[in-house]
Amino acid sequence: MPGMPRWFAHTFTAMVLAVTALVAPPAASAEGTPIGNLGQTLRVETANGIVADVTVHDVLASEVPPGWGWNGSPRWRAQGSPWRAPVTITTIKAPNPYAMALAFTFNGVTPYADAYAPKHTDAPNALEAALRNAPPGATVNGDVYWDVYRALVTNVVLTDTKTGEHLAQWNLWQPGAPLP
C-alpha cells in the first residue's frame, strides 16, 4: 500500500479543518456596535429591552471624589489619579427606571488594552446614582470615575454588566495620531 500515508494525511487534514470550522468560537468583534468620537450621541440597544441615547462628553483628570478608595496593595496605592468622564443618557425605552444602573458599565481603555473598571464613589455627580431613577423620557447626567494608574484612557467602552456585550464605544485617540 504505497499510497496509504498520502491518503491518510489528506483525510486527517480534511477532518481537522472540518472540526475546526464547526468548533471554532466566533471571532470577537464589535460588528453592529455603534462607535463614535467624544461628544457624539450613540443609540444603544440591549437584549433586555433597553434603548438609550448616550453621549460621553470628555475624559478629564479629577480631584479625589468623596468615598474614593484606592486600588491595589498598600505598596502601590495612589500611583495613579482619579479621572472622570461626564456622560449624558436619555432613556428611550427601559423595562424599569433602574434597569440601566444594573446593565451599563463604562470602562476606560488604554491603547495597550488595559481596561479601567469604573469606581464606586459617593460623589453627588456620580452617574451610577443618577441611573437609579431614569424612566423612559428622562435625561440624566453624571460622571464615571476611574483610577488611572498606567497609560491614559483613549477609548470609553460601554458594556453590558451581565453579558459583557460591547454596546458602544467612544474614541478619544485616532490611529496615526501621537499617543496621549
Say how many C-beta atoms besides its own lie within 10 A of residue 122's C-beta.
Answer: 10
Domain membership of residue 177 (yes or no) is no
Residue 163 belongs to some domain of the structure: yes
**pLDDT tens track for 39-48:** 999 999 999 9
Inform me whether the pLDDT recorded for 26 exceeds 50.
no
* Rg of the chain (C-alpha set): 22
* Residue 149's CATH number: 2.60.40.1240
The answer to whether residue 2 is domain-embedded is no
Does this model's pTM top 0.85?
A: no
Which tens digits make up the pLDDT trace of 149-179? 888 899 999 999 999 999 999 999 777 777 6
Domains in the chain, number: 1
